[in-house]
Structure formats: structure tokens, C-alpha cells
Amino acid sequence: MSRLHIDWTACDGRGVCTELLEELLAEDDWGYPVARGGHREPAVPRPLEGAARQAVDRCPMLALRLVSG
Ligand code: SF4
């Protein structure tokens, strides 16, 4: 199963990922993505892999990456 890695130094809180991955990510008070459940690098369930790949491709700051394991 892959995990979603968020590069906090690159993210500027534009929210594309939270729109695409509502089930996995919420926005904090400043609009930055936080994993539901509090994990820093949330596991991506198989049904959300397509949306996660889309989020990686569409992140304007190239702040998202899928990592295996
Ligand atoms: S899409 Fe990218 S820049 Fe926007 S909130 Fe998500 S990780 Fe941050």
C-alpha cells in the first residue's frame, strides 16, 4: 500500500489535494492539508489511489509524492 508524503516546506495550502482526497485529508485552520486520523504520512487505500495520483500530478507546488510501504 502506498503512502502520501507531503513536503511541508513546499506546500502553500492551496487546497487542491484536500478537494481531491476529502476522505484522506482535511484542512487545518490555515488551509494546509492534514491527514484525517493524524498520521503524518497517511496510507492511501486502494480505492483512493487514482485520486491520490491526480493530487500528486495537480499539486501546483509539487509538494506531494506517493511512497511505497
Ligand atoms: S495541493 Fe499541494 S500546495 Fe496545495 S495544499 Fe495540497 S500539498 Fe499543499
User: Do the Cβ atoms of 67 and 41 come closer than 8 Å?
Assistant: yes
For residue 49, the domain's CATH number is 3.30.70.20
Q: Domain total for the chain?
A: 1
**Distances from the Cα of 39 to the Cα of 2, 3, 4, 45, 58, angstroms:** 13, 10, 10, 14, 22
- Over residues 7-55, the pLDDT tens digits come to 999 999 989 999 999 999 999 999 999 999 888 899 999 999 999 999 9
**C-beta of 17 in contact with ligand 1 (< 6 A):** yes
So what's the pLDDT on residue 40? 87
Is pLDDT of 69 > 80? no
**What pTM was estimated for this model as a whole?**
0.93
Domain with 29, as residue range(s), is 2-68
- Residue 20 is predicted with a pLDDT of 97
58 CA → ligand 1 middle, Å: 9
